[in-house]
Amino acid sequence: MSVQVAATVARGEFNLRVDLSFAPGEITAVMGPNGAGKSTLLRSIAGLQPVDSGHVSINGTVVDDGDRILIAPELRNVGLVFQDYALFPHLSVLENVAFGPRSRGVSAGQARINAQDLLDRLGISELGKRRPAAISGGQAQRVALARALATSPAVLLLDEPMAALDAESKVAVREELHIALAEFTGVTIMVSHEPQDARALASRAIVIENGRVTQDASLDALAQDPATTYVAALMRSTP
């Protein structure tokens, strides 16, 4: 259950060029300035952004070769937690979590039972009937995680999972995310702005600046031996 991205993605003036491999069970934090290409990397793995050359493969299967092969997102078995969660506003929390399995052919009843199970495990059992508009940011984050995990993805992608939270809920959510991710056996890639989050959750950090990987190391190595002035400044800002 590995992921490999050796590809170039051009987006107007900007291009992302990387050659990265991710191992199962490994939690990687992707850091970098705004507009450096972090989200583009996630989107190209999820299938929302085709690559222009090179390839993306999941579990050894090429899902995008920049040419003839382009497997649609719905066939990739990748879970994506969006930055502001993108919970479906017209569906209840339970229906949001059950959406993935239902789309993949699980019966409505079974999908709901499994969804409730997931909500129980993430400690939000009582939210099932509510609409996304009626829950807090921290709760929405857990629902988004539950929704992504409900399809048992091979790869879990998190786009700034804590950016939309206030400082108070961040601490609690970070703790819960840590537990949930520890149980997950696939590849986890998390875009993050904050070294604290990366340090709490990930073992490996990748820094992308201006479309290129400038450092790929453990978080300790990042702090002790920053490759660029950006990394140095980033790690210094950590309290």
Partner 1 sequence: MSRTSKRRLRTARPWFLLLPGAVALTFLIVPLIALLSQAPWGSFLQILSNPAALDALRLSLETSLMATLVALVFGVPLAWLLAREVLPGTRFWRALVLVPLLLPPVVAGVTLLAAFGRRGLVGQWLYNGLGVQLPFTTVGVIVAEAFVAMPFLIITLEGGFRGVDRRYEEAASTLGASAWTTFRRITLPMVWPAIVAGTVLCWARALGEFGATITFAGNFPGVTQTMPLAVYTALESDRGVAIALSIVLLAVSVTVLVALRGRYLRSGASA
Residue numbers at the binding site for partner 1 (CB under 8 A): 46-48, 72-80, 82, 86, 88-90, 99-100, 103-104, 147-148, 150-151
Say how many C-beta atoms besides its own lie within 10 A of residue 212's C-beta: 14
Q: How far is the CB of 40 from partner 1 (least distance, A)?
A: 13
CB nearer partner 1, residue 47 or residue 195: 47
Q: How far is the CB of 215 from partner 1 (least distance, A)?
A: 28
Contact present, 207 and 31 (Cβ < 8 Å)? yes
Q: How far apart are CA 50 and CA 62, in angstroms?
A: 13
CB nearer partner 1, residue 48 or residue 200: 48
Q: How far is the CB of 115 from partner 1 (least distance, A)?
A: 12
Pick from 151, 154, 152: which is nearest to 99 by CA? 151
CB nearer partner 1, residue 4 or residue 77: 77
- In Å, how far are 39, 132, 134, 206 from 199, measured between CA atoms? 20, 29, 31, 12
CB nearer partner 1, residue 103 or residue 218: 103
CB nearer partner 1, residue 95 or residue 209: 95
Residue type at position 167: A
Q: How far is the CB of 226 from partner 1 (least distance, A)?
A: 33
- Joined tokens for residue 35: 């507009």
Contact present, 145 and 184 (Cβ < 8 Å)? no
- DSSP H or E stretch at residue 212: strand 212-218
Q: How far is the CB of 60 from partner 1 (least distance, A)?
A: 20
